[in-house]
Structure 1
Amino acid sequence: MNGVLLGFVTIGAVIAVGMLLAHLRVLDLTAQRTLTDVAFFVASPALMLTTLARADVGAVLTRNLLATVAGVVVAGGAYVVGARLVWRRDTGHTTVGALCSAYVNAGNLGIPIAAYVLGDAALVAPTLLLQLVVLQPVALAVLDADRHAGGTGWRRTLPRPLRNPLTVGSLLGVLLAVTGARLPDLVEAPLHLVGNLAVPAMLIAYGVALRLGPRPGRAGSVAELATTSVLKVLVQPLAAWFVADIVLGVRGHALLAIVVTSALPTAQNVFVHATRYQRATVLARDTILVTTVSAVPVIVGATLLLH
């Protein structure tokens, strides 16, 4: 249980640093955008490469992944239906909203919770790889296409994901993991150091946006915010639990791991993507805040019920 509290307190503390720096006028919205760009173009690709290079790719090819995918499809799909039919959102906004509803904080929060609550940090690897190798590249490809809509043909659209630094870093990491190859220490050490910048840069930039942007709930649709938040912290873990327990017959510790990882709050890098592509930035910011707070009792309850 200490791992849950430690993970959330750590995230909150670094976000508070960003808010304080903005309040003291050390950082402004220009600095926030710079931090976001550094995280997007440099630090996050390095983090993804070094993290995935040492991951157990075989862990993805299990039935547990089916339950995780089910949670993502149900939560993200439900938002897409509402975004298109109720709020009439465009493609870019819908993509970010779907990420808000289903893209979990498997890195800087999921890893410590998996280590301290579940007893094995590797249990978060299937979710991490699913997001980095499948969900994130697809979402970034859609956002790229949306931003360049009407101006390019398929010959330029198809290669775009391979020009995205996050996608390239993730794919290189998977390639290293599959082949068993190791980067030379002279290459891996600086990459690891730069990768360590990704999470604090995201969190500080997020804190600046919280302090200088519109107050949570004061901009955008409150109903849409409530929808993404409920889908993320309640619907996604419930859907994953149903498929894992009722359909696949997963029991014990493996079931707990699936539910807990599915109940993690929306990841901070969703805000980075929203800022980078200027789509649904307020929705991403507010959903991260609401789900980070509300996920605590959900994860604690799931741990008590399924442990």
Structure 2
Amino acid sequence: MITLLTLQLTIFLLVAVGFLMKKIHIIGPQGQKNINDLVIYLILPCNILHAFTQSAADGSLMNYLAILFISIGIQVFCVIYGKVMFRREAEGRYKCLQYGTICSNAGFLGNPIAEGIYGAEGLVLASVYLIPQRIMMWSSGLAVFSGTSDKKQTLKKVVTHPCILACVLGIILMVTGLPLPIGIDGAVTAVGNCNTAMSMMVIGMILADINLRDFWDWTVVKYTVHRLVIIPAVVYLVCRMLPLSKTVLGLCVLLAAMPAGATTSILAEKYQVDSPFATKMVIFSTLLSLPTICLWSIFLQ
């Protein structure tokens, strides 16, 4: 509970900093665009690469394989689920909702919660769980926003994106156990560690352009219920039928119960796809995740 409260407070303070910087005109529209591009093309790839190099390659092989295959299944389920549940929404909202269903904030929020509840084993298993999500969010997820009618052009955009290249290199390094060269490793880590602060401040800047009287949105409420309650409930019911350890089952459910990832807003802003709506999704689902994650944690004990 203390870990979760601390993380939530950190998130909202960083959002408030970005909001204030935009409101008092320290950062203008062009500066916001430049920071957004910096996050997408440099900070996020470094963060992804660092995360893969920190993933352990030892421990219980059966638990690793189990959580890996379940995570792949969850990602496939979320892709289909988002398409079906939000198919009647306007195109801009549909893209945000679909991406937000595929990509949660399991990396930033999930890792420390996994470690707090399940110890070092939980942290390592969580890092394995996140491998399919990181790949999916920068392949299928990116295609949601950047897609065109030309499938070949869409594929080219996706496979050449810095975040996809970082995923490929990260997997190679994790599997082979090879470290990044000294110096490069430190630089990648230093830049990647800026991810949370910069991403949340970008969300605050987008939030500064939203009329707060329009912040309440029933579609966002519906999305939040799906993201925080229904999806993890489905994961729980399916996992209960499988011969899984209590740790693997609990982690799968908890990590499936995370709010919308910050990249929902960042990519919506980049590709001009209703970023105010995407920001409301991130802020509202993150706020409501405070009680829901606590309830899921109690239920799974």
Please give the TM-score of this superposition, normalised by the length of structure 2.
Answer: 0.88
**1:31-70, aligned counterparts within 5 Å?**
31-56=31-56, 62-70=65-73
Structure 2 partner of 1:253: 247
Q: Deviations over 1:28-55 (max 9, x none)?
A: 3332222211100111111111211232
Partner of 1:229: 224
1:133 corresponds to: 135
Q: What's 1:19 paired with? A: 19
* SS of 2:260 mapped into structure 1: coil
| Counterparts of 2:213 and 2:107, CA distance in 1 | 24
Number of the residue aligned with 2:84: 81
Contact 1:28 1:208 in 2 (8 A): no
Q: Contact 2:75/2:132 (CA < 8 Å) preserved in 1?
A: no
The alpha carbon displacement at 1:176 in A equals 0.9
Opposite residue 170 of structure 1, the aligned amino acid is C
Q: Which moved more, 1:22-31 or 1:229-238?
A: 22-31
1:218 CA drift (Å): 4.6
Q: Is the aligned partner of 1:278 residue 2:281? A: no
Superposition deviation, residue 102 in structure 1: 3.6
* Residues 158 and 17 of structure 1: CA distance in aligned 2, closer, same or farther (over 3 Å): closer
Match of 2:298 among 297, 301, 304: 304
Confirm whether residue 172 of structure 1 aligns to residue 174 of structure 2.
no
Cα distance in 1, alignment partners of residues 85 and 298 from structure 2: 33
Q: Is 1:4 the equivalent of 2:4? A: yes
The alpha-carbon distance between structure 1 residues 127 and 30, as it changes in their structure 2 partners (threshold 3 A), is: farther
Shift of residue 20, structure 1, vs aligned partner: 2.0
Counterpart of 2:26 in 1: which secondary structure?
A: coil
Aligned-residue offset at 1:172:
0.9
Pair 1:232–1:69, CA change in 2 (3 A): farther
Q: Which moved more, 1:25-34 or 1:74-83?
A: 74-83
* Aligned-partner Cα distance in 2 for 1:241–1:71: 11
1:202 alignment partner, SS class: helix
Quick check: 2:36–2:202 contact (8 Å CA) kept in 1? yes
> Equivalents in 2 of 1:184, 1:218: separation in Å?
47
Equivalent pair of 2:138/2:164 in contact (CA under 8 Å)? yes
Shift of 1:2: 1.7
CA distance in 2, matches of 1:295, 1:289: 10
Q: Is the 8 A contact 2:53 2:170 kept in 1?
A: yes
Q: 1:133 to 1:74 in 2, by over 3 A?
A: closer
Contact 2:55 2:128 in 1 (8 A): no
TM-aligned CA deviation for residue 108 of structure 1: 2.1
- Deviation of 1:281 (Å): 1.6
Q: Distance in 1 between matches of 2:229 and 2:36?
A: 29
Residue of structure 2 aligned with 1:210, choices 184, 204, 207: 207
Question: Percent of aligned pairs with the same residue?
Answer: 22
Cα-Cα RMSD:
2.4
Structure 2 spans left out of the alignment, 5+ residues? none
Distance 1:30 1:215, change over 3 A: farther
What SS does structure 2 have at the residue aligned with 1:212?
Answer: coil
Q: 1:71 and 1:186 mapped to 2: Cα distance?
A: 37
Deviations 1:113-161, CA, capped at 9 Å, x for gaps: 2222332322321332111123322222343332xx3xx573x443332
- Conserved 8 A contact 1:102-1:231: no
Specify whether residues 280 and 74 from structure 1 end up closer, same or farther in structure 2 by C-alpha distance, changes over 3 A only: farther
Q: Which of 188, 197, 207 is the matching residue for 2:185?
A: 188
CA distance in 2, matches of 1:180, 1:73: 28
TM-score for the superposition, normalised by structure 1:
0.87
The Cα shift of 1:214 comes to 3.5
More displaced 10-residue stretch of structure 1: 119-128 or 256-265: 119-128
Give the corresponding residue for 1:144: 146
Q: How many residues align?
A: 296
Gaps of 5+ in 1: none
- Contact 1:46–1:169 (8 Å) recurs in 2: yes
Q: 1:290 aligns to what? A: 284
Does the 8 Å contact 1:237/1:262 carry over to 2? yes
Indicate if the aligned counterparts of 2:265 and 2:278 stay in contact, CA closer than 8 A: yes
